[in-house]
Amino acid sequence: MSRRGYVQAIGKDKNIGIKAYARFRPLIDPFQNDETDLYVYPNPSTVMVKKSLDNADSYTLDGVFPPTTSQEEIFNVVGKPIIEDILSGYNGTVFAYGQTGSGKSYTMMGLNIYDSDTKGIIPRATNLIFSKLQESNREIEYSLKCSIIEIYKESLRDLLSNSGAKLKIKEGPRKGVFVQGLKEVYVVCEEELMNVIALAESKRTVASTKLNQVSSRSHQLFVLEVDQKLPDDTEKRGVMNFIDLAGSEKVKESGVTGEKLEKNWKKLKK
């Protein structure tokens, strides 16, 4: 069983627009006695996968996190720099990719969004954003709004709305690519935002598998827009995208293949 999960971060860095990190989780039942893969970490950005005593594949990324890495350490390296970019008026994205059971949702959301030790990148990011805004000049006006979408079997579902309205991806000269009919919720404090996230999590499509008792069967896109108005009337807008992808081995079973898969994914990446 693979224990690899990938986290990618996209920020404003002009030299390196995309950074890729690998996080390894401990073995879980029923694979605790499986020793077919041995992972060696010769330095913080390289991992070697030993398939036999004399055969190993080496991979170099922007960072490699062994199983002992804490949630806080992950956030400080992957999430914190992008949040600082967002508050400076840039856009950024963090997404997790890997097979079922590799720890994507744990990395992005955590076991408990209110627990200081186990909460993931998203709740830590919301905490940092509000902390930074509250510490800033009181003359700065700011507003935050969020939307959360589930993508399941080629359908879009608004996790913040009970209307059941069918969502469609549109493109216009002013807005660019957007989701028509998507509900956007304004929040004024961290508690409100955490409640919104908890509501969305409770609606997400999940199912039990052999590898994961509560395994996501969908992609989830969480968008947080931060608008700031400075004392000199200049404005800054930063948009943060958090994406928790479904298990990578489940694409074939999702009902989206070939041209349709490529077309919709390209739209959502814009």
**Closest alpha carbon to 69 in 131, 3, 130, 14:** 3
> For 76-83, which contacts have Cβ atoms below 8 Å and span 24 or more sequence positions?
77/21, 78/7, 78/9, 78/19, 78/21, 78/121, 79/9, 79/121, 79/124, 79/125, 79/128, 80/128, 81/9, 81/11, 82/9, 82/10, 82/11, 82/240, 83/125, 83/128, 83/129, 83/132, 83/240
Q: What is the 3-state secondary structure (H, E, C) of 97-133?
A: EECCCCCHHHHHCECCCCCCCCECHHHHHHHHHHHHH
Q: Is 244 an active-site residue? A: yes
Per-residue pLDDT of the chain (270 residues; tens, 9 = 90+): 345 555 666 666 655 578 999 998 877 654 555 554 556 677 788 888 877 777 788 889 999 998 889 999 999 999 999 999 999 999 999 999 888 888 888 999 998 888 999 999 999 999 999 999 988 877 889 999 999 998 887 788 899 998 877 888 888 887 778 888 899 999 999 999 999 999 888 887 654 444 444 445 678 899 999 999 988 889 999 999 999 888 766 445 444 455 544 554 444 444
Among candidate residues 6, 120, 152, 244, the one labeled active-site is 244
Q: Is 104 an active-site residue? A: yes
Q: Model confidence over 217-226: pLDDT tens digits?
A: 678 899 999 9
Half-sphere exposure of 51 (CA within 13 A, CB side): 6
Task: Give the per-residue pLDDT at 270.
Answer: 44
Task: Give the per-residue pLDDT at 229.
Answer: 92
Task: Give the per-residue pLDDT at 166.
Answer: 80
Among candidate residues 6, 21, 106, 152, the one labeled active-site is 106
Among candidate residues 103, 110, 120, 238, the one labeled active-site is 103
Task: Give the per-residue pLDDT at 213.
Answer: 45
Task: Give the per-residue pLDDT at 119.
Answer: 95
Task: Give the per-residue pLDDT at 208.
Answer: 44
Task: Give the per-residue pLDDT at 6.
Answer: 58
Task: Give the per-residue pLDDT at 8.
Answer: 62
Among candidate residues 101, 110, 120, 238, the one labeled active-site is 101
Q: Model confidence over 22-56: pLDDT tens digits?
A: 998 877 654 555 554 556 677 788 888 877 777 78
- d(C-alpha 205, C-alpha 220), whole Å: 10
Among candidate residues 105, 147, 216, 218, the one labeled active-site is 105
Task: Give the per-residue pLDDT at 216.
Answer: 59
Known binding-site positions: 98-105
Q: Is 105 an active-site residue? A: yes
Known binding-site positions for ATP: 98-105
